[in-house]
Structure 1
Amino acid sequence: MPHANGNGTFNTLLSETHGSPLTGPVKPVFELFQETFQKHASEKALKCMHQAPTYLSSLLRSPSPTTKSLPLTKDANDSGKNTTSSHQNQISSKPCLNWTFDQLSQASHSLACSLAARGVKPGEAIASFVNNGAEFHVANYAALELNCIFAPLNPKVASNAPEARHLFGMLRPAVVLVSDGELAEKLEDVVGEEMGSVRVKLVAVESEDSLPSGWQDLEKFVEDNVQHGERGLEKLVIERKEDDVLLVFTTSGTTSMPKGCPWTNKSFRSMLYCIKDVLDLENTDEAPRIACFHSPNFHIMGYFFGAPYHLPGLSVVHPSATFYPGATLKAVHEERVSDLAAVPALVHALVGHPDLKKTDTTCLKWMLLGATTILPETLRMASEQLGVERPTEGYGMTETGPANIRLFVDIPLTPPKTVLAGPVVPGGKSRICDPETREVLPRGVPGELHCGGDLIIHEYWTGDGKVSKEAFYTDDHGLWIKTGDQAVMEENGDVRIVGRYKDLIIRGGENISPKSIEDIFMARFDMTAEVVGVPDDIAGEIPIAIVKTKPGQEIDVSALRTALVKELGPTWVPEEILMLEDLGLVDYPRTTSGKVQKVILRDILKEKRASTIGSVEGESMLEILTRVWNKLLSLPAGTLTHQTSVHDWADSLILARFSAALLREAGLLISLSELAEHSTVEQQARLLSSRGTAQASFADIVPKRDGPPTINDTAHVHGDEARFQKTIQLCNETLAPLGLDWNDVQDVIPMNATQETFLKYRRPQTSNHRHAWLCPGTSMEELQTAIERAVTHHSMLRSMAIYFDDITAVHATIRPSKKWWSHCITIVPPIKKASDLPTLVYNDPKLDFACFPGPMFRFVITYLEEEKCAGVVYQGQHSVFDGVSLPIFLEDLDKLLVAPGTVLKPHVPYKAWADSMYLLQDSALARQSVDWQAKRLHGISRTPEALFPKQIAPEWFKGNSEGWVDINTGKPGPPRKYLDADPVGVKGISALGQLPDVQALKVKHGIEGSQIVKAALAVVTTRYTKAGFALFGQSQAGRSWPFLLDWQVERMPPAMDIDGPAVQGTLVRIPVDKDESVLEMMRKLQAEQKFLNKHAYAPMRQLVASMNESIPNEGDFYGDAFRRQIFNWLPVAPVWSLEKLKNMQVESRTDCGILWNCIMMDRTTLKINPSWDDAQLRRVEIEEMIAEILRVSEAFATEENWGKPLSQVV
């Protein structure tokens, strides 16, 4: 099965998965709702907290479909039940509109009758330009009853004349419903002759309002027509077909004009069933689900929270006409809404609102986050600060509806560290394809997401009766749409969205077409502009315009902003309008064919924005605030005074963005609740000034210099001139064979004992990693240039190794030069195809290694004839990188391949971290770590039978051992013989298992999944050794600043960005007591892990000496035990999110017996990937161990076993 939701059999190595079939009767959508309204007639359906209880009350006077038979409802239940009186009693204490399903049915039926009386026929369009409220639902269900097309549209369209005319030309609506008279006037003005198709023009006014000629009040229209229409509708026979279009949403395209997305009976019904299945929506008496419909109704994501909740008989609440955080929190408090949608901006607005502190949010069960990039921090904010039980990201489009969303019951209660869109939904299909060939790609490889199944639309409406099917295709699995989004499918079938192939900008969930803005620059000002989107913490993305003027042409920013506001609306106004010269450019970066490279522009802008923090020197607080407000509000000069309330112009989204923009641009922090209390610029300035304006920043912690290191730059010499001169001499001796000397040295960096262990020469491939990468669309010259730039940025990959004395080893990083590149970059003849890359120079005695003394990182570049692009294989010595620093390098290399002009972000220099660790290794805190580790391991050497695996060949090597040297004699070692005819130990094998209750173990007992597998490995190991405890090595990521006090660590740069190897290793000793309960064993392991993390950096040299002092040779026994068997835990599967680098091979050549890589692939799926020394173990032995470890792990992860003794479970 490709996924738990799947029902088909596929090649699970490929990125394609199909959801389970939808369940439910195949009926027209109207009949489904008719049955629901009958079944739940007296139950609450709709509450509009911002609308008066008498609003649209005249629509409730006609018989409803729940009390009177309607066309094609041959077995309708004529109950005659009237709920108006009881309903009024129920809401008397709450003066707002509060309807039952019967009342909603009455109101929509009244409108349907009235429209029929005016000649509206099935298949005609009803266009809605209203915000959230009862009128939206009334029009929606009236359209369903008449089998008309319902098109919910953005009321702001009235401010964009070309778009409004385009939409009217595309839909040819017979009916238009607007929210007020002012909007009606605007539409009349901008639409012009396209309004000719409209026969009924309605205004949903709540108060007395003058209406333009030809427009009617909605209630008055129904009163005048309902009785005549009732008789006509009873005689009307409506034939409802599967391909009848019922809904049309619009979506922005790569052009400026939106396209229509037609939803038919079949696709609409499928969407309703899909959402019901995904969310497990049922009408139950216990804690019923209640939808908070606060998102725009013209977005399909907002629409999810209306009709799909009504179908199972659940209630929908509108807190306000448009989103306002205070109103939403009031709905949470008073109505106990459970489910809501949000973009990051909405989450920030809710968290920052002062009412949150007094709001009980325990009713919030589910929050769907989408419409833009969702970060793990946003999910954590929704969970921890808003109190949402199950916040989740989902992926969908206007064209697909929900496409990839995790089932409600599968959403983890603790937000994940990696955000995934999730599995394919029931009724849906997902595949990841090559965007050029449509070939389905292997899992883990990024490509274009294609969606299929029962939910997707079948064409675009492009205007004037035209359709487009270019984005669609059909194959043996049905209809598919190419989304234009880049994604990766994980091994378990989950989809992760990586980016967009399109240039659309998504600001706060709203699509913005750069071309629309660029066209106005040209049409109104005869000025060339390129508009790109850059990331924004609150809005997701914001548009920025880069303008190119003609000689002598001047730019009037105020006039540009005014024109953009008038033509497109304030949302579309770029946050910044810059000149090319502001970016240091003469022309836009272009391809060889002259096309502007917006990717490079975007990267340049991101760097510029990052560098603006702290650039406000010389400005007063008032000037800073006014500048930022004016930029966000796009107000004419002089409009915003220091005494004016910003709330007069700023909506909740702008308030949230202001808080982030102020922090980014000026390093000043003001919360949304503070903005609510301090509405004027003067009040805000007074508040911020009272705190002071000091900004947190880190100065360069490694000084820059032109020449080689001085004595004070070299930590290991301790200011001793003789040691410094010895260092220079050793460097010269080491570099001489390469034609280099001391003057080529950039830095000298001391190693810690873990690095020395990696470095210790036993064979050419000692502790090597070999990776192979395909570089699509990249020439060999482009690849070599990018490698040189990336390695220049990552100094540890330009290293040579030197032993200063018996207890000190150092890395000398070498300055980039042609001579240096000639030693670490090799060009070889072309190869035929990508599948040949993994064998390129494989085990070549001259090229396939990186070892002492260096270079410690080497590249082999070639050309692939079939793919017509370059490829690279590199060999890295593990003493210069780890599993965190290497991906940082690859990301930077990928950026340079995508956009060669990219300015790379600086990282925390490795030298600062390494110097600190070296200089503090004999400190009191270091000694504490040594003492704790020595005490924990005391006496291990007295049980040599605990060593596993048993050694039957000299040394411990994964992979090729040719040329190995016996470190005890310094002489070549004897040949080592593989036990299997076809050895695969260095490549490894994999197997999957399940940890069913791993989440419950974490939530209830605070025990992580790693302890389950570690306990299982211990149990299985002792079966082989018969010892009372298991001994094996364990990798520790480290990534902290060792031997510093907590307050000191807080003031250091983030350790996760340290540009070099911080990984450590430790030895674990796990007693296996068969009378002990499973839970108690894992509790002890979790408790010990806390201290293992704390003391991970115990200096190994000092630890070994301490152990040897306590028991002779016990420290040496430690090293032997560690290398035999190593446990490595990855809480999430590693994924290469790269555009121009396609991974073809990862091979770890660790000098050990067995390396157990244990990876959580999803919430419950465990993958074990062992690699081993083929001269010590056979494949069949490893397969037997994997099976046992997985079996025991599953047993330990099953809750019913936790209280049982080990003897009963294993």
Structure 2
Amino acid sequence: MKSSFRPLKSNALRSYTLSRRVFRHGSTRGLAISGASRGLTGSRLMQRRCIATSDLSYVEGPQEPPLLTCTIPEHFSEIVSQYGDRPAAVFRSPTTADMNPTLTSTKPETTTLTYENLDTQSNILAHSLRSLGVKKGDRVAVSLGNVTEHAVLTYAIFKLGAVLVPLNPTFNAYQLSAALSRLGVEVLVIAAITDLSYKPCRGRSNYDLLSALVSDLTSSKVESSTVPTLKSVVLVDNTPAHPLAGFPLIQDLSALTPYSSLLLSSSSSSSLSRSITPDAPLAPAEIINIQFTSGTTSMPKAAMLNHTNILNNGRLIATRMGLDSSDRIVCPPPLFHCFGSVLGFMATATTGACITFPSPAFDPGASLCAAAELRATGFYGVPTMFAAEFELLANPAFAARLPPGGLSNLRKGIAAGSSIPEPLMREIGEKLGLRDLVICYGMTETSPVSCMTAPTDPDDRRTSTIGRAMPHTTLKIVAPGDRSQIVPRGQCGELAVSGYLLMKGYWNDEARTGEDLIRDQDGRLWMYSGDEARMDRDGFVEITGRIKDLIIRGGENIHPLEVEIALVEHPRVREASVVGVPDTRYGEVVGAFVAVHAGVRTLEDGEVDEGKGEALSKDEVRDWVRRQLSGHLVPKYVFWTDELPKTASGKIQKFKLRDAAKELLGIATK
């Protein structure tokens, strides 16, 4: 069905009405954009209204609250003036007892930063970074876990007007060098030991990685053949938490600047703890963050985000989920990812709430203990994190460690990062009590959240959709293969996003920027998600799968998510992911990678169950799906796995599963 809507000409300029926004605590500092469509000409506005109220899959989000037009440091200053003595962030350090989460251990050490502490320390650090030569616009790479230093560095870099480049700490030497070289980074901040998910106090020493990056670590000067722009490497010493990692004495590595010296060298002068003036005035539209896409494909891209993107996205997330200054949020997702930095840190920092990072890298035991010990009101995670936490809660020895009633205050939360199956949503509510849990959807390129549920949404919409458009955000769903045609409500197509939240582009990559960011004939810029979706008459959006993950079996389209939801409903299945596997007869067939709960034995085809405890066979998996879904959705292949390959933010890397399936079946890969 073709749309009767004719795109508007691009020669009419769009204007905005500016108004002063009174901050929650009474300040009038910082302008806000309101009424994003009020400056449109009458004919253009009428056409927009017509399409927005038609039966087409097009919707414009609310225009309230108005967009902030100040910079992040300006807004943070206002928050500090109101909530200075309140805790901004709590960091929980692992202990060697955490190496076995079922053992009773002493309470781990925690570090609390009030908003004033965070402001003061980031000022001191900003002065020290300037002494290293960091100027406005310079890229500063940070390869750290969820630790105090990461939080302080974030605001120090923003205050200087430099560009924060958060890197996945698990990068190997090649990945690190490639990222630094690609962005022309001059300063790298990295930990001596990279903390690893599920392995507290058993991290990876970064000595070999640093030796590959810097020609001579004992020299007084940083020289790198792979990253010629690199001038300084700042080392965070976290060796006490990793007694077996084997990192050499830091004082013997003269090329590295100890992070501690950056705070100590400046703290002697009280003037340096006061605010810092950047080289040139900051502007809301300036790039201050470059985020690498999360790596569910093999080719991550570097998305450029500005103050307006990040500040407003965090604030609007907080508003829709109902955060306030009394909240205590536990955030296991990583700070180097948009989930931890925007949905987590920026959202709480715009409301005066407190955020807790339970461990440097994800650890289900630490996450649950932190929530119980701090009597948290909110809890964040992606599906794979929640699955691991529920597995641990089912262990009586671990459950006995938690303070009685420690999880009883939980009510708010965010589930994001990938599609959330309805059974998991119900389980989150039952086991953690997150009655106000919301789902956030987005992309790194959209700062990231473009669509979100609300605690007041009907229960069926909160468990089956990603909610509705965020404020100042426009959504449309276009026909496969023809992005000029908006599909009717209820019909599947590709989801596209427009508004303040769009990235500027990919760093030095005009070709790939042009593939994803496209102007329509009206001159409006759209980000095409690559996700297949459908929109109902009330504007709620359901993600039906990744377009590139669609399985076409004998001409029939199969959405992996539908099969995955059926699989995880099996009582013995912990996690499952479905991919297309090449087939000579059908072109593609369904392949399912399945991880079972602890204590469940897995049986191969034809293997007999000898009755020694719980077991699950591949035929049982197929029969389970067959009883719930059509026959063509039944997996032809079932692959047992202990763990699904994931990014550090918890997303399943399907390209690795597709390659693994071909390898297991002896199918040649390109």
Give TM-score, length-normalised by structure 2. Answer: 0.69
1 CA distance for matches of 2:249 and 2:541?
52
Residue 282 (structure 1) shift: 2.4
| Corresponding residue SS for 1:469 | helix
Residue 215 (structure 1) shift: 1.0
The answer to whether residue 499 in structure 2 is matched with residue 453 in structure 1 is yes
2 CA distance for matches of 1:266 and 1:34?
16
State whether residues 121 and 273 of structure 2, in contact with CA within 8 Å, keep that contact through their aligned partners in structure 1: no
State whether residues 351 and 386 of structure 1, in contact with CA within 8 Å, keep that contact through their aligned partners in structure 2: no
Q: Which residue of 2 aligns with 1:36?
A: 79
Distance change (3 Å), C-alpha of 1:199 and 1:417: closer
Q: Which amino acid aligns with 1:349?
A: A
| Structure number with higher strand proportion | 2
2 CA distance for matches of 1:18 and 1:279?
19
State which of 337, 355, 362 in structure 1 corresponds to 2:376: 337
Q: Which residue of 1 aligns with 2:466?
A: 421
Q: Which amino acid aligns with 1:16?
A: Y
1 CA distance for matches of 2:543 and 2:74?
37
Residue 231 (structure 1) shift: 10
1 CA distance for matches of 2:437 and 2:334?
20
Matches within 5 A, 1:596-611: 600-601=587-588, 603-606=589-592
Q: Which residue of 2 aligns with 1:217?
A: 258
Distance change (3 Å), C-alpha of 1:904 and 1:96: closer
Give structure 1 stretches of 5+ with no counterpart.
53-92, 506-531, 547-587, 591-596, 611-656, 668-684, 702-793, 795-883, 897-901, 906-1210
State which of 154, 157, 169 in structure 1 corresponds to 2:171: 157
| Corresponding residue SS for 1:470 | helix
Q: Which residue of 1 aligns with 2:88?
A: 45
Deviations 1:1091-1143 (A, max 9, x none): xxxxxxxxxxxxxxxxxxxxxxxxxxxxxxxxxxxxxxxxxxxxxxxxxxxxx
Q: Which amino acid aligns with 1:322?
A: A
The answer to whether residue 416 in structure 2 is matched with residue 370 in structure 1 is yes
Residue 101 (structure 1) shift: 1.0
State whether residues 124 and 273 of structure 2, in contact with CA within 8 Å, keep that contact through their aligned partners in structure 1: no
Deviations 1:1051-1073 (A, max 9, x none): xxxxxxxxxxxxxxxxxxxxxxx
State whether residues 146 and 238 of structure 1, in contact with CA within 8 Å, keep that contact through their aligned partners in structure 2: no
Which has the greater radius of gyration?
1
| Corresponding residue SS for 2:170 | helix
Distance change (3 Å), C-alpha of 1:243 and 1:24: closer
Matches within 5 A, 1:700-719: none
Q: Which amino acid aligns with 1:217?
A: P
Q: Which amino acid aligns with 1:32?
A: H
Residue 695 (structure 1) shift: 7.8
The answer to whether residue 301 in structure 2 is matched with residue 259 in structure 1 is yes
State whether residues 487 and 499 of structure 1, in contact with CA within 8 Å, keep that contact through their aligned partners in structure 2: yes
Distance change (3 Å), C-alpha of 1:121 and 1:698: closer
Matches within 5 A, 1:834-849: none
Distance change (3 Å), C-alpha of 1:542 and 1:491: closer
Distance change (3 Å), C-alpha of 1:142 and 1:235: closer
2 CA distance for matches of 1:699 and 1:461?
45
Q: Which residue of 1 aligns with 2:328?
A: 290
Q: Which residue of 2 aligns with 1:403?
A: 450
1 CA distance for matches of 2:525 and 2:152?
33
Q: Which residue of 2 aligns with 1:659?
A: 597
Q: Which amino acid aligns with 2:256?
A: W
2 CA distance for matches of 1:243 and 1:137?
22
Distance change (3 Å), C-alpha of 1:13 and 1:114: same
Distance change (3 Å), C-alpha of 1:487 and 1:663: farther
1 CA distance for matches of 2:79 and 2:258?
30
Q: Which residue of 1 aligns with 2:554?
A: none
CA RMSD of aligned residues (A): 4.1
The answer to whether residue 389 in structure 2 is matched with residue 350 in structure 1 is yes
Residue 96 (structure 1) shift: 2.3
State which of 163, 175, 182 in structure 2 corresponds to 1:170: 182
| Corresponding residue SS for 2:308 | helix
State which of 183, 191, 200 in structure 1 corresponds to 2:206: 183
| Structure number with higher helix proportion | 1
Residue 193 (structure 1) shift: 2.4
2 CA distance for matches of 1:47 and 1:155?
20
State whether residues 601 and 615 of structure 2, in contact with CA within 8 Å, keep that contact through their aligned partners in structure 1: no
Distance change (3 Å), C-alpha of 1:389 and 1:600: farther
2 CA distance for matches of 1:186 and 1:36?
39
Matches within 5 A, 1:1042-1053: none
2 CA distance for matches of 1:278 and 1:350?
26
1 CA distance for matches of 2:449 and 2:621?
47
2 CA distance for matches of 1:142 and 1:543?
43
State which of 345, 349, 352 in structure 2 corresponds to 1:310: 349
Residue 301 (structure 1) shift: 1.6
Residue 444 (structure 1) shift: 0.6
Q: Which amino acid aligns with 1:295?
A: P
| Corresponding residue SS for 2:314 | helix
Matches within 5 A, 1:116-265: 116-158=130-172, 161=174, 163-180=175-192, 182-183=205-206, 185-189=208-212, 193-207=225-239, 210-211=249-250, 212-225=253-266, 230=272, 236-251=278-293, 256-265=298-307
The answer to whether residue 330 in structure 2 is matched with residue 299 in structure 1 is no
Distance change (3 Å), C-alpha of 1:662 and 1:165: farther
Matches within 5 A, 1:819-830: none
Matches within 5 A, 1:447-526: 447-461=493-507, 468-475=513-520, 476=522, 478-503=524-549
The answer to whether residue 482 in structure 2 is matched with residue 437 in structure 1 is yes
Q: Which residue of 2 aligns with 1:824?
A: none
Distance change (3 Å), C-alpha of 1:238 and 1:409: farther
Q: Which amino acid aligns with 1:373?
A: S
2 CA distance for matches of 1:141 and 1:422?
31
Q: Which amino acid aligns with 1:298?
A: F
2 CA distance for matches of 1:123 and 1:179?
24
Deviations 1:587-625 (A, max 9, x none): x558xxxxxx9x944x2434xx79xxxxxxxxxxxxxxx
Deviations 1:607-652 (A, max 9, x none): xx79xxxxxxxxxxxxxxxxxxxxxxxxxxxxxxxxxxxxxxxxxx
Residue 144 (structure 1) shift: 0.9
2 CA distance for matches of 1:269 and 1:425?
14
Residue 261 (structure 1) shift: 1.0
| Corresponding residue SS for 2:464 | coil
Residue 145 (structure 1) shift: 0.7
Q: Which residue of 1 aligns with 2:656?
A: none
Distance change (3 Å), C-alpha of 1:37 and 1:695: same
Distance change (3 Å), C-alpha of 1:393 and 1:171: same
State whether residues 91 and 358 of structure 2, in contact with CA within 8 Å, keep that contact through their aligned partners in structure 1: yes
Q: Which residue of 2 aligns with 1:840?
A: none
Give structure 2 stretches of 5+ with no counterpart.
1-34, 38-47, 96-106, 194-204, 215-223, 241-247, 552-559, 569-573, 639-670
1 CA distance for matches of 2:150 and 2:289?
13
Distance change (3 Å), C-alpha of 1:447 and 1:461: same
Residue 213 (structure 1) shift: 4.2
Matches within 5 A, 1:1015-1026: none
Distance change (3 Å), C-alpha of 1:178 and 1:504: farther
State whether residues 116 and 232 of structure 1, in contact with CA within 8 Å, keep that contact through their aligned partners in structure 2: no
